[in-house]
Amino acid sequence: MEPIIKTENLTIRFGGHTAVSKVNFEMPAKQLKSIIGPNGAGKTTFFNLLSGELKATEGDVYFKGENITSMSSVARARLGLGRSFQITNVFPNLTVLENVRLAVQSKEKIRYQMYRHFTHYKKLLEESQRLIGVVLLQGKEHAIASQLSHGEKRKLEIAMLLALDTEVLLLDEPTAGMSLEEVPAILDVIKAIKQTGDKTILLIEHKMDMILDLSDSIMVLFNGKLLADGSPEEIMNNETVQNAYLGGLYDENLAES
Amino acid sequence: MELLINLTVNGLATGMLIFLLASGLTLIFGLMSVLNFAHGGLFAWGAYSAVWFYSLTGSFILGILGAIVTGAVLGFITEKLIITPVYGNHVQQILITLGFMLVLAELLKVVWGPNQIRAIVPPKLEGSWEFGDVLIIKYRLFIIIVGFVIFGIFQYMLQKTKIGLVVRAGVMNKEMVQALGINIKRVFLYVFMTGAALAALGGALFAPYSGVIYAEMGFEFAILAFIVVVIGGMGSFSGSLLAAILVGLAGSYMAYYVPALSLAVNMMLMAIVLIFRPQGLFRAKG
Amino acid sequence: ACSKSDGGEASTKTDDDEKATNQSNQNEEEEEEEELGTIKIGVLASLTGALESYGKQTKQGFELGLEYATGGTMIVAGKKIEVVYEDTETKPEVAVQKATKLLEEDEVDFLVGSSSSGDTLAVLPLAEEYEKIMIVEPAVADSITGSEFNPYIFRTGRNSSQDAVAGAAAIAGPGVKIATFAPDYSFGWDGIAAFKKAAEALGAEVIIEEFADPAATDFTSNLQKVIEAKPDYMFVVWAGANSPWNQIADLKMQEKGIKISTGAPDIPALSIMEPLVGMEGFSVYYHTLPNNPINDWLVKEHKARYNGEVPDLFTPGGMSAAIAIVEALKKSDGDANGKTLIKVMEGMSFETPKGKMTFRAEDHQALQTLYSIKLEKQEGIPYPVPVLLRELSPEETEPPIQNK
Amino acid sequence: MKTLLKVEGIHTFIGQYHILQGVSFEAREGEVSVLLGRNGAGKTTTLKTIMGLTPASKGTIFFEDKDIKKQPTYTIANTGIGYVPEDQGIFADLTVEENMKVAMRKEDDATLARQEYVLDLFPDLKTFWKKDGGHLSGGQKQMLAMARAFVHESKLLLIDEPSKGLAPIVIEKVMEAITEMKKSTTIVLVEQNFIMASRIGDRYTLIDDGATVHAGEMKDLIGNEELKRKYLGIG
Amino acid sequence: MKRKFQLNHYLLVVIVIALAIFPFVSDSRTWTILLTQIFIFSILAMSYDILLGYTGIVSFGHAMFFGMGAYTTAVMLKRIEPTMGTFIVSIGVGMLLAGLISFFIGLLTLRLKSHFYAMLTLAVSGLFLVLAEKWRTLTQGNDGFTFKAPEFFKDRVMFYLVVLACLVLVYVFLRRFVNSPFGRVLVAVRENEQRTSSLGFNPLHYKVIASVVAGVIASLAGSLYAVSLRFVNTSVLTMDITLDALLMTIIGGVGTLIGPIVGAGVIELAQYYLSGLAKEYPIFERWIIFFGIVYILAVVFFPRGVVGTIREQFWKRKMKKDGAKTVPKKEVS
Ligand SMILES: Nc1ncnc2c1ncn2[C@@H]1O[C@H](COP(=O)(O)OP(=O)(O)OP(=O)(O)O)[C@@H](O)[C@H]1O
Ligand SMILES: Nc1ncnc2c1ncn2[C@@H]1O[C@H](COP(=O)(O)OP(=O)(O)OP(=O)(O)O)[C@@H](O)[C@H]1O
Ligand SMILES: [Mg+2]
Ligand SMILES: [Mg+2]
């Protein structure tokens, strides 16, 4: 099967620093792949290159065989590449509901409609309400986004991504700072999406238990380079990964879960 | 050749003068990110108080010092009363400082009357030297020197101390700076007062240059100062200096060679700079 | 505040007392009104903002003028005169607003004003619409009695062209080489165009015309060009606070043999012309220039009333406007009908502090005396004083007719 | 052991919202106290209230027997309390170096030496010394925020979710560092990573809906399946 | 929520009707003119609020569109003939011109960040001012020129009614506009441009369209303004006009449409009354001081603008009354 996303020699340099270096990677459709790597390895930057937030210095990105390297982030989002952000990135002075509703509106392709009153779009509201429920934010619909606690903002971030309902989901540390008891709920959401079987998910995480639980495959970035891409077992047994990324904590981590 | 020298020296002097007017705003707008539309008012108050102190004491130096003190005191009042409630909110800043500008300009008339007032150049700086066809106006040379001195002082202060850093950090995240043990309110107050004092100094030096002061003078030059700060790159003294000199020289050359466009020269300069270097000429560092 | 004055009227005997007497005065006036009928005059002037001092001069002059012309009675042809002053703030929309208020609410019979040409032009159509006479004073734009003229407009103020003609008369002569220097907008262009014509008619040659950004901090580049052209004179048309005089001195233009000539401004602005002592030019008015009893009266009364201050540039203008109105009413026998007054006023001559003025029938511009002067330093006066060289008679400074 | 910080019955309003409704806990000298609770429980607000960023309207906050409740933030910081906020509070337009500089109260040899120590802890920061704070990766920002707080020897450190976004190996280093620092510094920690919390915490305070619901020694909590299930959803 | 809107609606309709019959009950022309003036500036301020309040763009060059409308109408009425037909066509032409120019300027410059954009608009409008100053054959520079208004407007009441109608139309149109899905995206652009684009909305498109709408409506205000004065000069292109629009918007409350209208009223009336006081009480001779103090007090007492602050209070009170939970409880499934 044709990979849904493919990169060739994807490279970006910031000044003298190469944050992503000649990455050749293929993402099989309808799978979940996790990306791990030390801090500053270039994971987020790689996402930014896929979603178009950043422009590659070299190399190409293909989506379903089409070269999308020169497309804007807007165009890519419309094409079906949706993403969540590592550093919470919402509309601070709008309510939770409004934040989600905007994403739903985009999914429904209501972009330049200028005369209809927005509340006419009942459907949008209902869908937004539903998604807020999915990420356990019910009761907070009318809270202003900037007044949410950190974990709540993370959930909102996920709701907005889900609302876009894109073919590809790029999740950047979705559960960072989320409370222990709620991580499983979000995991369930991701699992549920995965089970429907029509979505492709790329996940950046540092929580190994979660990664092992979810991933079909794992790729490892190191200093901007693609170090390995393989099944969870392969990766966990990779020595470099163990020494430079996991350290000792991971054993206990696994033991706990 | 002589012509070119004349145009350049005069352009440079005008540029320096504009730099002096803009230097206070470099601190207040560039660094502290306060859209201070009352800046022109501070500047006019500086001019008036300099002329007044000068005529009272007969000493130009005391006049200048008087202006600086007036500026600092006004800066204190402005910061406490007007700016403190609106830090970080540009929209409110526009409204409140425009209101204060009206008050400042009108109060000038209450104190010194509505008529324009003559400002004289101190005898020692009066007149000019001639070298062949090259004519150097003493007062302009004085302005150029003062401009460089001010530039040097502030460049040094911002490079060698962390005040500049603290202010910029404070603008980005006031709470965090405080949590690092810095009394940011006081820092802002002092920096604002310094900016106001610089504005007053600019006014004080401008007065003898143009020979006349009037209550509305603030409105006219405040915009020029904003232009300089923006095209120089927010908060950068080197940027402001370069931009001011550019404005001065462009004005001088254009008025001679392309007089038809001299009315538009500042605006064109700003448009060109911003289109090609949207962030301004310099990026503030330190 | 209301309740306070209610209670205060009886008990305190200060301000309120005065108010009370004022009120009774007003009552008397109203009674008189019924017997006499009134003539109402609305005066528009810039009482705040950059042109504030001009506005105040007009206002004071106008008050004095009415007093003089009616012999202190404020009654003309059996009618009581009332005046309402309004501040245009030098904004056209405010001027229109205030003018309409005057015409509609106060139902004035005359409009007088205003300090800025923009404000005045905006108000001109209202005069025609309401068929009321408007005396323009002291706005200078030629177009007021030129392209924008309507028959209800009369101007006691001089116009740009008159200034220019006077300026030319002061310096131009066969073979004289003149450079001009003016601000780069209508006022400057009009002034220079008119000057050029007048000067060339007198045989002079205008060799270079420089226009500068009026808001600029530096005029030396423009002046440099003038110096290079080596003229005999540089004629300057200038208005506004930001002025080039210092720089003219700095560049030693006079030492280089270029004589400067310009119109003498009002007293506050004269004080900043210190560097130009010795220059020859023209003046619209300075209190020592005219020699006639009206001016003597004006100077005396003005001093008495405004703690020793002498009347300034536009004070006689205000006075002239008042005199013109009173004279017209005398002739029309108190009839304030616009159409009637037009007939009366066209060609009317009247005595003013500047001597005899005549409303030219064609464009209603008052022809008037201007003065050729020289700036001199005088003992005990903190500004250069315009000293009379010679009077430029109304005929001599007659401007072209431009409303055709 | 001596109590360094004693928070008693604090109530905090943000705008018209009554966020904290009776949080009490204490931090003893040389110990690590962990605040636990769900998202939105009020952990961050508790730390902010101690720092004077969201002043308490009721209750008392004693630090070294001084009431600091009404003190301005910078005074509180200067009495020796360091703070690592949950959103890192990096000055985005300042370089890493400048971020550190702002945090340094003086630049004497001792401080510089300590800076070296901190940078050894997070060598990444040294690599990106001249880079803008805003351009760092998420984890690097977290490191910078900690480095800034560690550069002075504080009596008390308030750290809000240090492990968030860090690679496992770095978490380990941070834990080591905290254990090391414990000798001289008392620490209050908000942490969602229970493994980390349980390994380095000495005592815990459970916060729910803006109030303290439980407190005790960490070793008791580790064994208390019921509490863990009820408030932490684990076990 | 619905109920509140409806209440507002009725209130607005009542106010509009009251304003419409006002000139027939009162024969104060001063008030007619003052209100006309307020309506015109309300339109201008509303158009500015589309930029500032809804899209988060600060422009220092809004006067250029106002001036474009004013000049187009003035020139056409003077050069062609002062009829209603010309008037209406001139409005259209002005709007078209303003639309085109704001489109191009927007396309070129809206990529810039906040102050830089603001300063660039200042520059461009400054250039337009110079152009108007220099193109004397058309504009007569800063002296300006007068022209005749269409016969129909001889009676200022008619003009008053037309302006009122324009105000209502613009209000209704803009209300629809900002409450449409499109308008919600504008707000999103204001809040977080980058996030908007990652949702698949192109911020530049939104900003350009917003500035075209704002420009077109400012031009309408300009056309009406010129006719209200029957005169135009370069003052319509100056920074003062932009600042007026800006101040009115801020005083009334950014991000609301009623706000700019209230702001226009507050400023015009304050000016009217204060300058009136100057004639009666000597201490008000320097009334501008008090006018400045009005701005300062406005910020102190109405930090979010008159309408913004009142709304906020209203919500707060409502929340209290409804006994909203202080800390919303979370149910965990
Ligand atoms: N805009 C930028 N300018 C300069 N350098 C950048 C920029 N964005 C990222 N970098 C650098 O590129 C490297 C990779 O950053 P990236 O955010 O992709 O890391 P990451 O793998 O997501 O790390 P983490 O797990 O900490 O989030 C880092 O060293 C970072 O400092
Ligand atoms: N500025 C604010 N205005 C209104 N409510 C706020 C504000 N800040 C926080 N809150 C609310 O206060 C509650 C507690 O927030 P806090 O940030 O202290 O939670 P937390 O325990 O740190 O949660 P998390 O684990 O998600 O970081 C939350 O419900 C939040 O919505
Ligand atoms: Mg990352
Ligand atoms: Mg928190």
pLDDT classification of A208: cutoffs 50, 70, 90: confident
Q: What are phi and psi of A119, to 5 degrees?
A: -70, -10
E84 is a domain residue: yes
- Cis status, amide bond into C275, omega within 30 of 0: no
Binary contact (E145, C143; C-beta < 8 A): yes
* Distance separating alpha carbons of residues E209 and C359, to the nearest angstrom: 56
Using the Cβ of D85 and the Cβ atoms of chain A, whether some distance falls under 8 Å is answered with no
E14 is a domain residue: yes
Binary contact (B169, D77; C-beta < 8 A): no
Residue minimizing CA distance to atom 18 of ligand 1: A42
The number of beta carbons lying within 10 Å of the beta carbon of residue B85 is: 15
Using CB atoms, which residue from D85, D94, D103 is nearest to B168? D94
Overall average pLDDT of the A146-153 stretch? 88
* Distance separating alpha carbons of residues B246 and B232, to the nearest angstrom: 10
**What pLDDT, in 10s, does the model give residues A25-70?**
899 988 899 999 998 899 999 999 999 999 999 999 999 989 999 9
State both tokens at C326: 């009173």
- Select the highest-mean-pLDDT range: A88-102, B185-199, C42-56: B185-199
pLDDT score at C14 = 41
pLDDT tens over chain C, length 404 residues: 333 333 333 333 344 444 444 444 444 444 444 556 889 999 999 988 888 889 999 999 999 999 999 998 999 888 999 999 999 988 888 898 889 889 988 899 999 989 988 899 999 989 998 999 999 999 988 889 988 899 999 999 999 899 998 999 888 889 999 999 999 888 888 889 989 999 999 999 999 999 998 888 888 889 989 998 999 999 999 887 788 888 888 888 888 889 999 999 989 889 888 888 888 999 999 999 999 999 999 999 999 999 899 999 999 999 999 999 999 999 998 888 989 999 999 999 999 999 999 999 999 999 999 999 999 999 889 899 999 999 999 998 898 898 87
Domains and CATH numbers, chain A: 5-256 (3.40.50.300)
The number of beta carbons lying within 10 Å of the beta carbon of residue D28 is: 16
Q: How far is B119 from chain E (nearest CA, A)?
A: 24
For the Cβ of A45 lying below 6 angstroms from any atom of ligand 1, the answer is yes
CA A221 to chain centre: 16
Q: Count structural domains, chain E.
A: 1
Q: How far is D168 from chain B (nearest CA, A)?
A: 27
| Full residue range of the structural domain in which residue E221 is found | 2-325
Q: How far is A81 from chain E (nearest CA, A)?
A: 9
Binary contact (C272, B14; C-beta < 8 A): no
Q: In terms of DSSP bridges, do strands A81-83 and A168-172 run parallel, antiparallel, or are they unpaired?
A: parallel
pLDDT above 70 for D5:
yes
pLDDT score at C320 = 95
D163 near D89, Cβ under 8 Å? Answer: no
Residue minimizing CA distance to atom 29 of ligand 1: A40
Token pair 């001089």: residue: C158
Q: Choose which residue among D140, D142, D146, D174 to substitute to test ligand 1 binding: the one with the highest number of ligand atoms within 8 A of its C-beta.
A: D140
Q: Choose which residue among A45, A88, A208 to substitute to test ligand 1 binding: the one with the highest number of ligand atoms within 8 A of its C-beta.
A: A45
Q: How far is E331 from chain D (nearest CA, A)?
A: 11
Q: In terms of DSSP bridges, do strands C133-136 and A17-27 run parallel, antiparallel, or are they unpaired?
A: unpaired
Q: Which residues line ligand 2 (CB under 6 A)?
A: A 143, 147-152, 179; D 14-15, 17, 19, 37, 39-45, 86; E 327
Helix, strand and coil in chain A, % to nearest 5? 40, 25, 35
pLDDT score at E7 = 61
**Among chain B residues, CA nearest to D85:** B176
**Per-domain boundaries in chain B:** 2-276
Chain E contact set for B92 (CB, 8 A): 250, 299, 303
CATH of the domain at E261: 1.10.3470
The number of beta carbons lying within 10 Å of the beta carbon of residue D149 is: 24
| Distance in Å, CA D43 to ligand 2 centroid | 8
Atom of ligand 1 lying closest to residue A173 CA: 27
| Distance in Å, CA D35 to ligand 3 centroid | 26
Overall average pLDDT of the B204-220 stretch? 88
For the Cβ of A48 lying below 6 angstroms from any atom of ligand 1, the answer is no
| Distance in Å, CA A40 to ligand 1 centroid | 5
Secondary structure (DSSP) of E221-274: HHHHHHHHHTEE-GGGGSHHHHHHHHHHHHHH-TT-SHHHHHHHHHHHHHHHHH
Cα distance from N-terminal residue to C-terminal residue, chain D:
31
The number of beta carbons lying within 10 Å of the beta carbon of residue E325 is: 11
Residue minimizing CA distance to atom 29 of ligand 2: D40
Which has more confidence, A230 or A257? A230
Using CB atoms, which residue from C56, C221, C243 is nearest to B255? C221
State both tokens at E326: 């202080």
pLDDT score at C268 = 87
Chains D and C touch, using 3 or more CB pairs below 8 Å: no
pLDDT score at C9 = 35
Residue A242 DSSP code = I
Using CB atoms, which residue from E124, E126, E299 is nearest to B95? E299
Q: How far is E195 from chain B (nearest CA, A)?
A: 20
Using the Cβ of E29 and the Cβ atoms of chain D, whether some distance falls under 8 Å is answered with no
Atom of ligand 2 lying closest to residue D38 CA: 25
Which has more confidence, B75 or C48? B75
**Of the candidates A77, A42, A7, which has an alpha carbon nearest to the alpha carbon of residue A172?**
A42
Instruction: Find the Cα–Cα–Cα–Cα dihedral D74, D76, D82, D87, rounded to 10°.
Output: -60
**Of the candidates C50, C88, C43, which has an alpha carbon nearest to the alpha carbon of residue C66?**
C43
C278 near C373, Cβ under 8 Å? Answer: no
Residue minimizing CA distance to atom 6 of ligand 2: A147
**Among chain D residues, CA nearest to E319:** D16
pLDDT score at E222 = 96
* Distance separating alpha carbons of residues B62 and D44, to the nearest angstrom: 54
CA A114 to chain centre: 31
pLDDT score at B220 = 78
E38 near E268, Cβ under 8 Å? Answer: yes
Residue minimizing CA distance to atom 3 of ligand 1: D135
pLDDT tens over chain E, length 333 residues: 444 555 677 888 889 999 988 888 887 778 888 899 999 999 999 999 999 999 999 999 999 999 999 999 999 999 998 999 999 999 999 999 999 999 999 888 887 777 788 888 999 999 999 999 889 888 888 888 888 889 888 888 899 999 999 999 999 999 989 988 899 999 999 999 989 999 999 999 999 999 999 999 999 999 999 999 888 999 999 999 999 999 999 999 999 999 999 999 999 999 888 888 887 888 888 888 999 999 999 999 999 899 888 888 887 777 666 544 444 433 333
Cα radius of gyration rounded to whole Å, chain E: 21
The number of beta carbons lying within 10 Å of the beta carbon of residue C82 is: 17
Which has more confidence, E100 or B263? E100
Binary contact (B253, C221; C-beta < 8 A): yes
E332 is a domain residue: no
**Among chain B residues, CA nearest to C243:** B210
Identify the residue among E198, E209, E331, E333 best suited for mutation to test binding to A, counting A beta carbons within 10 A and taking the highest: E198
D89 near D99, Cβ under 8 Å? Answer: no
- The angle at the Cα of B203, spanning B200 to B206, to the nearest 5 degrees, equals 150
Strand partners, A60: A8
| Distance in Å, CA D210 to ligand 2 centroid | 9
Helix, strand and coil in chain B, % to nearest 5? 80, 5, 20
Between the alpha carbon of residue B65 and those of residues B38, B69, B151, the distances in Å are 21, 6, 18
* Distance separating alpha carbons of residues B244 and A208, to the nearest angstrom: 57
User: What are the helix (H) ranges across chain A?
Assistant: 43-51, 73-79, 96-107, 122-134, 150-164, 183-196, 208-214, 232-237, 239-240, 249-256
Overall average pLDDT of the B29-44 stretch? 92
**What pLDDT, in 10s, does the model give residues D129-163?**
999 999 998 889 988 999 999 888 889 999 998 88
State both tokens at C142: 């030629």
Residue minimizing CA distance to atom 17 of ligand 1: D137
**What pLDDT, in 10s, does the model give residues B87-136?**
988 889 999 999 999 999 999 999 998 888 889 899 988 888 888 878 88
pLDDT above 80 for D121:
yes
pLDDT score at D233 = 63
Contact residues for C246 (Cβ-Cβ < 8 A; gap 6+): B121, B209, B210, B211, C272, C275
Contact residues for E47 (Cβ-Cβ < 8 A; gap 6+): E62, E65, E170, E174, E213, E214, E215, E216, E217, E218, E221, E245
Binary contact (E299, B106; C-beta < 8 A): no
Between the alpha carbon of residue D82 and those of residues A214, C219, D74, D153, the distances in Å are 38, 59, 11, 9
**Of the candidates D92, D137, D132, D128, which has an alpha carbon nearest to the alpha carbon of residue A40?**
D137
E193 is a domain residue: yes
Cα radius of gyration rounded to whole Å, chain D: 17
Between the alpha carbon of residue D14 and those of residues A103, A147, C319, D42, the distances in Å are 29, 9, 67, 12
pLDDT score at A115 = 73
Other chains touching B, judged by 3 or more CB pairs under 8 Å? C, D, E
pLDDT above 70 for A249:
no
For the Cβ of D135 lying below 6 angstroms from any atom of ligand 1, the answer is yes
Whole-prediction pTM: 0.91
Using CB atoms, which residue from E316, E320, E327 is nearest to D18? E327
For the Cβ of A44 lying below 6 angstroms from any atom of ligand 1, the answer is yes
3-state secondary structure of E66: helix
**What pLDDT, in 10s, does the model give residues B231-243?**
898 888 999 999 9
Q: In terms of DSSP bridges, do strands C385-392 and D81-84 run parallel, antiparallel, or are they unpaired?
A: unpaired
* CATH number listed for the domain at residues B2-276: 1.10.3470
Residue minimizing CA distance to atom 25 of ligand 2: D39
pLDDT score at B245 = 94
E330 is a domain residue: no
Chain E contact set for C100 (CB, 8 A): 29-30, 33, 156
The burial class, CB within 10 Å (0-12 / 13-18 / 19+), for E193 is middle
Chain C contact set for B210 (CB, 8 A): 217, 242-243, 246
pLDDT score at A86 = 85
Contact residues for A223 (Cβ-Cβ < 8 A; gap 6+): A21, A41, A42
State ipTM: 0.89
pLDDT classification of D193: cutoffs 50, 70, 90: confident
Identify the residue among B92, B97, B247, B276 best suited for mutation to test binding to E, counting E beta carbons within 10 A and taking the highest: B92
Strand partners, A204: A35, A172
